Chains A and B, each alone.
Chain A
Amino acid sequence: MTIIYLLVFGFAATAILGLITSWIDRKVTARVQYRVGPPFLQPVYDLVKLLGKETLIPAGASKGIFLIAPVIGISGVIAVSTLFWVNQFFSEGFMGDWIVAIYLLTIPSISLILAGFASGNPLASLGASREMKLVIAYELPFILAALVPVISAHSIRLSTIIDSQAGGVFAGSISGILALIVAIMCVQAKLALVPFDIPEAETEIVEGPIVEYSGPGLAIFKLMKNMLFFILPFFLMILFFGGLRLNGINILWTLLEYVGIVAIITVIRNTNPRVRIDQAVRFFWGPMTLIAVVAVILALNGL
Chain B
Amino acid sequence: MSLKLKALLKSPWVFHLSTGSCNNCDIETLDCLTPRFDIERFGMLLVGSIKHADVLLVSGSCNRMSVERMKALFEQVPKPCLVVAIGTCAGSRGIFKDSYNCPVPLDKIIPVDVYIPGCPPKPEAIIAGAVKLIEKVGGTL
Contacts and interface: CB of A to CB of B under 8 A. Distances in A.
Interface of A: 26, 30, 33-39, 41-42, 45-46, 48-49, 52-56, 202-203, 206-207, 211-215, 218
Contacts of B7: 45, 48-49, 52
A220 to B, nearest CB: 14
Given A52-B4, A52-B7, A30 B51 contact: no
Contacts, number: 75
Nearest to A218: B52
Contact size class for B?
Answer: 20 to 34
B38 A49 contact: no
Contacts of B48: 202-203, 206-207, 211
Given A48-B7, A53-B79, A53-B80, A35 B35 contact: yes
B44 to A, nearest CB: 9
A213 B38 contact: no
A188 to B, nearest CB: 22
A33 B78 contact: no
Interface of B: 3-4, 7-8, 10-11, 35, 38, 40-41, 43, 47-49, 51-52, 54, 76, 78-80
Nearest to A212: B51
A33 B38 CA distance: 10
A225 to B, nearest CB: 14
Contact of A52 (B8, B35, B51): B8
Contacts of B43: 38-39, 42, 45-46
Query: B3, B40, B80: which has the most chain A beta carbons within 10 Å?
Result: B40
B96 to A, nearest CB: 30
A30 B38 contact: yes
A35 B40 contact: yes
B136 to A, nearest CB: 18
Contacts of B4: 49, 52
B54 A49 contact: yes
Contact of B41 (A36, A53, A202): A36
23 contacts: A30-B38, A30-B40, A33-B35, A35-B38, A38-B43, A39-B41, A42-B10, A45-B7, A45-B11, A46-B43, A48-B3, A49-B7, A49-B11, A49-B54, A52-B8, A52-B80, A53-B78, A54-B79, A56-B76, A212-B49, A213-B51, A214-B52, A214-B78
